[in-house]
Amino acid sequence: DTGVSQNPRHKITKRGQNVTFRCDPISEHNRLYWYRQTLGQGPEFLTYFQNEAQLEKSRLLSDRFSAERPKGSFSTLEIQRTEQGDSAMYLCASSSRTSGNTGELFFGEGSRLTVL
Amino acid sequence: AQSVTQLDSQVPVFEEAPVELRCNYSSSVSVYLFWYVQYPNQGLQLLLKYLSGSTLVKGINGFEAEFNKSQTSFHLRKPSVHISDTAEYFCAVSPLFGNEKLTFGTGTRLTIIP
């Protein structure tokens, strides 16, 4: 069990550029979540996948944001035309349906985005 | 919908002293309750959780929490803190039915004073 892996760990970009983050969940986990965490705040839910299906999206996920999980394994989160307000830590988490809804999510270390 | 309130954004505590981090929640449905810890430059780790049964739950690193349904609280306690407990602590809830989508509080930064 190698845990949830996120890449890149840090990304600095200029306003208007596109960025993409990747998340590799724990291999047997079929549920995958994206959260955003800004300074001084708790993580905020962005979107959720069960296998390859995106089942829920937060209103925080504007049309500049898109997430995919094409084969039900890794996931990508793309932000187009970045704005300074997008600067945050983007967290990925996974869980296994076989354990039932025990609420335990396993988090990666996050991808920190800085938009200049 | 659910919401979580952590009134204390920062809590300084002397080493070996007891600590309590407060958490209150609001929900229109029954929920599971959690405390997660985030050490500097690390991801979130589950500290403990309440699903059902005994209202006093024990977690890792000597932490425990008590679920109080009437007060809708889930306060975290440790009888004697250590320097290594310096971290950000997040209280969270998720609905009993459906997926594990967590709603987090704003966090409490615990600073241990030597």
114 residues of chain B, pLDDT tens digit each: 889 999 999 999 999 999 999 999 999 888 899 999 999 888 899 999 998 888 999 999 999 999 999 999 999 999 999 999 999 999 999 888 777 788 999 999 999 999
Residue matched to tokens 């800085």:
A114
Residues of chain B neighbouring A110 (CB-CB closer than 8 A):
43
* The two structure tokens encoding residue B30: 């029954």
Residues of chain B neighbouring A41 (CB-CB closer than 8 A):
106-107
B99 touches chain A (CB under 8 A): yes
Closest CA to A83 of A19, A7, A22: A19
Residues of chain B neighbouring A42 (CB-CB closer than 8 A):
4, 6, 90, 92, 104-107
User: B97 and A56: CB-CB below 8 Å?
Assistant: no
Quickly state the pLDDT bin for A1 (edges 50, 70, 90). low
d(CA A108, CA A90): 9
Q: What 3-state class would DSSP assign to B97?
A: coil
> Is the model's pLDDT at A100 over the cut of 80?
no
Please give the single-letter amino acid code of residue A63.
D
Rounded to a whole number, what is the distance in Å from the CA of A116 to chain B's nearest CA?
22
Q: Which positions 55-74 of B are in contact with A (Cβ < 8 Å)?
A: none
Rounded to a whole number, what is the distance in Å from the CA of B72 to chain A's nearest CA?
18
B102 touches chain A (CB under 8 A): yes
pLDDT at B63: 97
pLDDT at A101: 59
Helix, strand and coil in chain A, % to nearest 5: 5, 50, 45
